């Protein structure tokens, strides 16, 4: 019993050290969630910055301002990216000046001048800030929201209604619609007729099968003639009768041609016969189209039957 306890205690310690080792390796290898999120936000900010600068150079300041503002919002506010933030504020201030949003431009340019040390951009920003200050001074001050004034109490005066003459009563008349329950005479089923072309297709297929049988018979006959000539040549083979070999070759060639025609006839006849049979079963029967005389006669019959039914 003591040996089993020592064995379990040993395995427990082994599993504990293995878990600690896996945790340390996982913590060293896998990046933290905050670092991954910061990396994705930096990539997005770089993409928005590049797109905004492309539209800035094209003169499309509305789209450029939106893209640069998104880049400034996604970029981390650490010391490492302070230079990028200063550059974004500089270009955002110029976009706001072009869009005549002078208060926003003033805010961005003042922040840029406080933190930036770039001489050329500071000179341009100072010139723009002078222009922006003039525009802001000329603009009316924004309206302050005032508390709503309380409404005065309203006095409700009840005015008695004047007596009016009563409206004359109208009688409602109920209209009953009686449906005609007479049923029309039953219509006869349409007359059907057989079409000729499916039978023609099937007949051509049957003719192909018959032709295949005839050519098969001729093939068999040519083969028998070839065998007879070969037996004759085998019994009395002499150098004086070379035409028999030519005759064997002729019968063999004839049998091959007849067999080829028979096979083609059987295949084509079978296909056409099956197609014709399918057409007969599917579209073989169509309703009969009435002529003008038959239509007139049917209309007279209909009026006669309706008159008898009405009586």
Residue 227 lies in a domain: yes
pLDDT at 161: 65
Domain end position, chosen among 137, 157, 184: 137
Q: Give pLDDT tens digits along the chain (311 positions).
A: 455 445 445 555 655 555 555 444 444 434 455 565 667 678 888 888 999 999 999 999 999 999 999 888 888 888 888 888 888 999 999 999 999 899 999 999 899 988 888 888 888 988 888 898 998 888 887 666 565 666 666 666 666 666 676 777 777 777 777 666 677 677 777 777 778 888 888 888 889 889 888 888 888 888 888 778 777 766 655 444 556 667 777 877 888 888 889 899 889 888 988 988 888 888 777 777 765 555 555 555 555 544 444 44
Specify the number of domains making up the chain. 2
Residues 196 and 300 occupy one common structural domain: yes
Q: Give the bridge partners for 193, in sequence order.
A: 286
Q: Which of 295, 298, 213 is nearest to 261 (CA)?
A: 213
- Alpha-carbon distance of 58 to 52, in angstroms, equals 10
Residue range of the domain that includes 77: 32-137
Residues 118 and 199 occupy one common structural domain: no
Residue 232 lies in a domain: yes
The CATH number of residue 84's host domain is 1.25.40.10
Domain end position, chosen among 92, 116, 137: 137
Residue with the two structure tokens 């150098």:
239
Residue 10 lies in a domain: no
pLDDT at 95: 93
Q: Give phi and psi for 127, each to the nearest 5.
A: -65, -40
Q: Give phi and psi for 287, each to the nearest 5.
A: -65, 150
Residue 162 lies in a domain: no
Residue 45 lies in a domain: yes
pLDDT at 178: 67
Q: Give the bridge partners for 92, in sequence order.
A: none
Give the DSSP H or E segment for 59: none
pTM of the model: 0.38
pLDDT at 311: 46
Residue 225 lies in a domain: yes
Residues 48 and 130 occupy one common structural domain: yes
Residue 151 lies in a domain: no
Residues 299 and 224 occupy one common structural domain: yes
Q: How many residues does the chain have?
A: 311
The helix/strand/coil state of 184 is: coil
Q: Are 211 and 263 in contact (CB under 8 A)?
A: no
Q: Are 88 and 71 in contact (CB under 8 A)?
A: yes
Residue 163 lies in a domain: no
């Amino acid at each position: 019993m003591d040996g089993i306890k020592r064995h379990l205690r040993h395995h427990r310690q082994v599993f504990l050290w293995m878990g600690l080792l896996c945790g340390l390796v996982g913590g060293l290898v896998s990046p933290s969630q905050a670092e991954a999120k910061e990396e994705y936000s930096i990539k997005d900010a770089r993409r928005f910055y590049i797109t905004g600068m492309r539209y800035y150079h094209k003169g499309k300041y509305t789209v450029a301002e939106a893209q640069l503002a998104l880049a400034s919002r996604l970029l981390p506010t650490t010391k490492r990216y302070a230079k990028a933030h200063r550059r974004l504020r500089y270009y955002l201030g110029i976009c706001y000046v072009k869009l005549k949003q002078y208060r926003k431009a003033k805010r961005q340019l003042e922040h840029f001048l406080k933190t930036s040390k770039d001489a050329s951009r500071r000179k341009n920003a100072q010139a723009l800030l002078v222009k922006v200050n003039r525009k802001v001074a000329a603009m009316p001050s924004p309206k302050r929201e005032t508390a709503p004034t309380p409404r005065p109490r309203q006095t409700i005066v009840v005015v008695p209604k004047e007596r009016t003459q009563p409206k004359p009563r109208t009688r409602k008349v109920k209209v009953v619609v009686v449906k005609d329950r007479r049923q029309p005479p039953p219509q006869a089923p349409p007359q059907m007729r057989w079409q000729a072309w499916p039978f023609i297709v099937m007949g051509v297929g049957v003719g192909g099968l018959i032709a295949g049988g005839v050519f098969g018979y001729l093939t068999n006959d040519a083969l028998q003639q070839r065998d007879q000539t070969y037996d004759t040549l085998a019994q009395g083979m002499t150098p004086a009768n070379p035409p028999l070999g030519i005759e064997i070759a002729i019968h063999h060639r004839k049998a091959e041609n007849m067999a080829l025609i028979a096979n083609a006839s059987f295949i084509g006849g079978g296909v056409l016969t099956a197609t014709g049979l399918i057409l007969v079963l599917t579209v073989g029967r169509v309703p009969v189209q009435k002529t003008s005389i038959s239509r007139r006669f049917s209309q007279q019959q209909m009026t006669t039957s309706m008159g008898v039914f009405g009586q």
